[in-house]
Amino acid sequence: MAKIVRLEPIAQETSVETNGNLLSVLLNKDLDVLKECGGRGMCATCHVYIKDGMNALSTINRREQRTLEVITSCKPNSRLACQARVLQNGVVVELPPGMYINSLQDIEELIGRRAEQDLLHPITGQVLVESGKLITRSTLKQLENTPSFQVGSFFSNSTDV
């Protein structure tokens, strides 16, 4: 049976097969995960925080523990996405900013594309561009002061015109 995992702060939910790892959840959402070690629990490029539902994940194994110990951003709720397997519903993952922030230059490339569905502000949920409307420079100005947003999802929700 599939389990639902929620990703914050991009406010997305996705399902994963029971016992599937969080890395597959992130990749499924087109997030920017380097996975340098190929999912062997050794590089920490898949590091995430668990906002809720730590008990719904598999327990931390020794390799994961060792890898987490050497990263400075490690907190009590840290996990390696490639090692954490989803056993129950209720997992809420907090993504480190590096996984979904891209440069303003990337955003520039969105200008002139058309939104396929309402594009929402990632933090406030306010509609920035209504479905079918063009993405303009002024729209994106509204995002400039936002510390985090997922350019990838803007891309997937827009088309070239």
Residue closer to ligand FES by CB (options 81, 129) is: 81
Confirm or reject binding of residue 82 to ligand FES (CB under 6 A). Answer: yes
74 contributes a contact to ligand FES by CB under 6 A: no
The reply to whether 31 sits near ligand FES by the rule CB under 6 A is no
Question: Residue 39 or 53: which CB sits closer to ligand FES?
Answer: 39
Question: Distance between CA atoms of 130 and 120, rounded to whole angstroms?
Answer: 9
What is the distance between the alpha carbons of residues 96 and 118, in angstroms, rounded to a whole number?
Answer: 25
Q: Does 71 contact ligand FES by CB under 6 A?
A: no
Site for ligand FES in 90-149 (CB under 6 A): none
CA distance 19 to 160: 38
Rule CB under 6 A: is residue 20 a binding residue for ligand FES? Answer: no
User: Does the protein bind ligand FES through residue 80 (CB under 6 A)?
Assistant: yes
Contact between 85 and ligand FES per CB under 6 A: no
- The DSSP code sequence of 66-131 is HHHHT-TT--TTEEETTTPBB-SS-EEEE--GGGT---HHHHHTTTT-EESSPEEPTTT--EEE-T
* Footprint on this chain of ligand FES (rule: CB under 6 A): 35-37, 39, 41-46, 67, 80, 82
